[in-house]
Amino acid sequence: MINSHCFRGSSKHAYKHFGPLEGLLIWKLLVICFLFVPGFSGFTQNPNLVAPPPYIKTVILKPADPEAYTPIVKLGEKLILSFDDISSERRIYSYKIEHCDYNWKISNLASTEYMTGYASDRFREFQNSFNTLQFYTHYEMEIPNENNRIKLTGNYLISVYDDYGNLLFTRRFIYYQPRVNVAVSAHRSTDAATINERHSIQFVINHPNLMLNDPNREIKVDIYQNNDWNSTIKGIKPKYIRGTQLLYNYVNEISYWAGNEFLYFDTKEIRNATNNIYKTRMEDIFNTYLYATEARGNRPYTFFPDINGNFVLRTLDAQDVALEADYSRVHFSLDYPNKKEEEDVYLYGSFNDWQINEDNRMKFNPETGYYEAQLLFKQGFYNYTYVSVGKDGLINTHKVEGSFYQTENDYTVIVYYRKFGDRYDQVIGLGTANSERLLN
């Protein structure tokens, strides 16, 4: 089942010739029908994610472990939030941490129930960039820190504000405590129509030390592809309950378009043309021009390693990448002759937390015949892909770049627990699988 916000682009006014009650009932029935179509897989943006303003760049919320990318960690482990302000002023920024329920709505818990210390505080660590063409102030903080410590597992939202109290951006993170074991496996679709294009996900929740009275109501799960917040499949119930096992071994009900391997570029050598970069120019700042990319939807699958949409900051020119890495204006070009008038094409990846906005929309250039975009990136290795978005607001991850079962993807299952009488959703398990090794 896909998040119901995916229907925000549809219109209830189509039913205006019915009475108010009848129209609302018909609308709800249609939504329910769509939500329970097996294999339905349109992605939509999550409603409480706020994109940063143009002068805030390189927002990163990740574990302290340099090998980890996703802000999903065990209770007590550290997360690091950092970002750069490229304006010429040094500002005082503050943050607020809020506990959320399973559906990412702010919970009814008081801040003293889910954390010790202050739920709101200011950023205390900030420094100016050094020896860069693009000036910026780098802000950074740890969760937990000396002023606050999170006590409960669950979904969390951190909001960052300027010194006037204006909301600048939000980010999500999850704390969990492993009380159950989650065994996840990726399979090739068994549907003959999509056997070469989709992955099917199955998993088992083992809970020998957790007494469940009503597993269908007490346990909820979220499934993610490549830790993309927009890819969430929610509301799946266990197909079978066997002793202390919950089996989610559906054939195709939990399935994803496999997509294609992510494209990439690397600006660690910001002055030189390298693989996938055909020229660089130094103007007001560095400019990086990538080779034009042909839409891969009708081309054969080609393997090359990626990091599943993530990015890593790095530079060969300095020691401290946080303060000495420079920015470049990266120029993207896409050859997509099959684009439909009713769709838009966007750059897509973890570089902006998988968000869709005007900054990463590809615009047609009649002089070159390409769809083009320019975005500012701090030096590093970046994965990205191209997605299309129709008038319904659904994010189509395979129309431009194709979908091939050979594609290597990460799949994550998050397990939530809320027994009768509880006031919040605990996160009690996490399981992962990779499609590099399909089990059929």
Class in CATH terms, 56-176 = mainly beta
Residue in the block written with tokens 């009814």: 108
Q: How much is the pLDDT for 45?
A: 66
Global pTM reads 0.88
Cα(249)–Cα(253) distance, rounded to whole angstroms? 9
Outline where 197-237 has alpha helix (H). 215-218
What's at 12, amino acid-wise? K
- Burial of 32: CB neighbours in 10 Å, binned 0-12, 13-18, 19+: exposed
Cα(223)–Cα(256) distance, rounded to whole angstroms? 10
Residue pair 198/257 in contact (Cβ under 8 Å)? The answer is: yes
Which residue, among 115, 27, 81, has the nearest Cα to 353 in the 3D structure? 81
Q: How much is the pLDDT for 157?
A: 97
Which residue, among 97, 220, 110, 232, has the nearest Cα to 156 in the 3D structure? 97
Q: How much is the pLDDT for 38?
A: 39
Phi, psi of 79 (to 5 degrees): -115, 150
Q: How much is the pLDDT for 19?
A: 45
pLDDT in tens, 82-106: 999 999 888 999 999 999 999 999 9
Instruction: Return the exposure string of 305-326: e unless at least 16 CB atoms fall within 10 Å of the residue's CB, then b.
Output: ebbbbbbebebeeeeebbbbbb
pLDDT in tens, 346-379: 999 999 999 999 999 999 999 999 999 999 999 9
Task: For residue 359, give both structure tokens.
Answer: 């900054």
Q: How much is the pLDDT for 275?
A: 85
Cα(341)–Cα(339) distance, rounded to whole angstroms? 7
Torsion sign (Cα): 45, 51, 57, 58: negative
Architecture of domain 181-258+406-434: Sandwich (2.60)
Q: Which CATH number fits domain 263-396: 3.40.50, 2.60.40, 1.10.10, 1.25.40?
A: 2.60.40
Q: How much is the pLDDT for 179?
A: 97
Look at residue 336 and give its three-state secondary structure: coil
Outline where 268-384 has alpha helix (H). 321-324
Q: How much is the pLDDT for 144?
A: 93
Cα(364)–Cα(373) distance, rounded to whole angstroms? 9
Q: What is the mean pLDDT of each run of 10 residues along the chain (440 residues)?
A: 37 38 41 39 69 97 93 96 93 96 96 94 95 96 94 98 96 98 96 94 97 96 97 95 96 93 96 90 95 94 94 93 97 95 95 95 96 98 97 94 97 97 96 92
Domain ranges of the chain: 4-35, 56-176, 181-258+406-434, 263-396
Q: How much is the pLDDT for 123?
A: 96
Residue pair 182/429 in contact (Cβ under 8 Å)? The answer is: yes
Q: How much is the pLDDT for 21?
A: 40
Task: For residue 334, give both structure tokens.
Answer: 């896409």
Residue pair 101/114 in contact (Cβ under 8 Å)? The answer is: no
Q: Do domains 181-258+406-434 and 263-396 have the same CATH topology?
A: yes
Cα(407)–Cα(399) distance, rounded to whole angstroms? 15
Q: Would you tell me how many other CB atoms lie within 10 Å of the CB of residue 59?
A: 20
Q: How much is the pLDDT for 218?
A: 97
Outline where 98-154 has alpha helix (H). 111-114
Which residue, among 159, 83, 166, has the nearest Cα to 125 in the 3D structure? 83
